[in-house]
């Protein structure tokens, strides 16, 4: 972030426990106003104030803000990322959830982090976003961004699904599995990790392709350059098969659907603790080295 850059508006997005939020937000608003910064609240945040102020839809908050302050867990952060990246505004994430890989500042670090951000001394990590297009009948019916992952997975039925993967039009593999995950490096510590995928540093320009419970044990996770275009076709019955983006938006699939995934044009600007390197965050969250 540029030293000396001044900020006049900060958007606040949240979805933590309401009782916790009602304690944090009034003091935060006073702190910002004393420094001449206008806070813009989403509807969830405004609802917990004693005045019952009316907040704004999240998209309107993002439109009017120079920074987004996220109070919550990784789910809140993922929703905010899809708003912030195309608008080119940074996110300051404060962990009020549980694990919090993405929300790497603690609540105790809220005001020091704000001071550093306002002074223009914050460290920003540029995070690759995924662009997913769902093609049906030759037309794009869905086009969405995701920070962590794009997943095709089965629903309630127990049988496996069949998928065909091509990279830059070159055929790669036919999978029989419970599903397939296409992850960014940021998302490598999310669903992909639980499915046996590798941890990839956020600076690596790569996609991680991880099958979910594959029928063939030789179908292993695959890491490719993120300048590739991935194309995944349904190969067989698509009953109870879904496309999910960042675990938050689900779309039912049909047998002839085609999913295309590539690197989004915009990157997410994620403010990070300057004295908390990525590997320190990994050690803390994954409890590496603990008995």
- Length of the chain equals 291
DSSP for 142-210, written as a single string: EEEEESSEEEEEE-S--S-EEEEEEETTEEEEEEEESEEEEE-SGGGGTHHHHTTPPP--TTS-EEEEE
Distance CA 239, CA 150 (A): 19
d(CA 136, CA 169): 18
261 and 227 in contact (C-beta within 8 Å)?
A: no
Per DSSP, what are the bridge partners of residue 167?
A: 170, 230
Tokens (6 digits) for 273? 């603790």
**Residues annotated as part of the active site:** 74
Separation of alpha carbons 291 and 289, rounded Å: 7
| Strands 9-14 vs 67-72: parallel, antiparallel or unpaired | parallel
Question: Residues near 279 by Cβ (< 8 Å), separated by ≥ 6?
Answer: none
* CA–CA–CA angle 130, 209, 260 (5° rounding): 45
d(CA 257, CA 146): 19
Which residues does 122 contact at the CB level (< 8 Å), separation at least 6?
A: 1, 90, 92, 113, 116, 271, 272, 274
As given in the structure block, the two tokens for residue 124 are 């920003």
């Amino acid at each position: 972030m540029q030293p000396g850059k001044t900020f006049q508006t900060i958007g606040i997005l949240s979805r933590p426990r309401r009782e916790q939020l009602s304690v944090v937000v009034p003091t935060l608003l006073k702190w910002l106003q004393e420094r001449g910064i206008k806070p813009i609240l989403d509807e969830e945040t405004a609802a917990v104030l004693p005045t019952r102020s009316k907040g704004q839809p999240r998209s309107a908050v993002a439109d009017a803000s120079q920074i987004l302050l996220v109070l919550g867990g990784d789910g809140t952060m993922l929703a905010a990322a899809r708003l912030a990246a195309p608008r080119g505004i940074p996110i300051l994430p404060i962990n009020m959830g549980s694990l919090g890989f993405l929300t790497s500042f603690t609540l105790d670090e809220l005001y020091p982090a704000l001071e550093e951000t306002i002074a223009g001394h914050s460290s920003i990590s540029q995070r690759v976003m995924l662009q997913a297009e769902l093609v049906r009948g030759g037309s794009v019916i869905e086009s969405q961004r995701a920070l962590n992952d794009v997943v095709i997975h089965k629903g309630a039925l127990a049988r496996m699904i069949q998928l065909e993967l091509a990279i830059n039009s070159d055929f790669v593999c036919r999978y029989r599995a419970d599903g397939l995950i296409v992850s960014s490096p940021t998302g490598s510590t999310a669903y992909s990790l639980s499915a046996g995928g590798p941890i990839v540093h956020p600076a690596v320009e790569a996609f991680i392709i991880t099958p979910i419970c594959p029928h063939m044990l030789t179908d292993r996770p695959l890491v490719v350059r993120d300048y590739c275009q991935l194309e995944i076709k349904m190969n067989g019955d698509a009953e109870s098969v879904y496309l999910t983006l960042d675990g938050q938006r689900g779309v039912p699939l049909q047998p002839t659907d085609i999913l295309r995934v590539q690197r989004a044009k915009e990157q997410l600007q994620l403010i990070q603790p300057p004295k908390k390197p990525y590997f320190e965050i990994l050690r803390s969250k994954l409890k590496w080295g603990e008995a």
